[in-house]
Structure 1
Amino acid sequence: RQQLTKGEKDLFDAGVELPASYRAAMTAMQNFSPKTLADEAAIGDWLAVLEYSGGKKTAGMRAQIGLEMRAGTDRLIAYRRISAKSLVVGFADDRLIPVQQCREVAAAIPGARYVEIADTGHFGYLERPDAVNATLVEFLAS
């Protein structure tokens, strides 16, 4: 993941503009679950959205890359001081934030609840919005 982030930083800083179709395909491969990627109709729709919606480079995007470059910083000790009721949601097929990391965060926060949603990648909230929303509503209602 560190190398991917470094590559994204290098592309951004060099002003490289990837073809929209390639950028959309790479975004889909990195962020959707194998189940969604195998669904021809669903992934076709998502590829169209990704191709249409992305590509413009902004200062906010560059700042996000900068934050990701520092992602190696261990925050688990700080998370032990969180006293608010907390929910950590893991997406089962997430390649960018693997469920093991989500479990570690949940274990570090006193009393945190961990829920893992099947058949979801990093864009799990888009792939299975009903399951994600039900999880959030149930947590907030408890």
Structure 2
Amino acid sequence: MRRLHRVRRTLNYVNLSTPLGLLLARVGRARVTTGPDGLLLAYGYRFRFPIASAFTVGNVVLTKHPEGFLTGALLRHEGRHASQYMCCVGLPMLPLYVVAVAVSMMICGNQASWNLFERLANLEDGNYTRRSPWWFHTRPPQKE
């Protein structure tokens, strides 16, 4: 494991985001396994919220899907979110993320396209599509 991943793992435990992720995994009856780069992968998460195919809290990546779903680009995307928890000093990431969702919804009507956290984690790796701001879709007034 690279030094950055060890630091991220340690800081996300200390800032309480990983313990919260583990609590969510337990309450959601997910099966937790160790993953690459210090991540913990929680498969079979049972709650309907959030609606994403996978989400990260601290170093814990939770998904409703069975084991083996978290691979490749999606896992790299979720790993970037784990680093965002480290940079946001843990739990403040949650309200900041909610604000970013609201901003994205106001700009384009989509929760991820203009969400700063999703953009920094690479939208496409998270299976999100890029959408234009709503003002690109408005038509100028027609002359009579």
Give the TM-score, by structure 1 length. 0.29
Q: When you count helix as a share of all residues, which structure comes out higher? A: 1
The TM-score, its normalising length taken from structure 2, stands at 0.29
Q: Does 1 or 2 have the higher relative contact order (CA < 8 Å, sep 6+)?
A: 1
Greater strand fraction, Structure 1 or Structure 2: 2
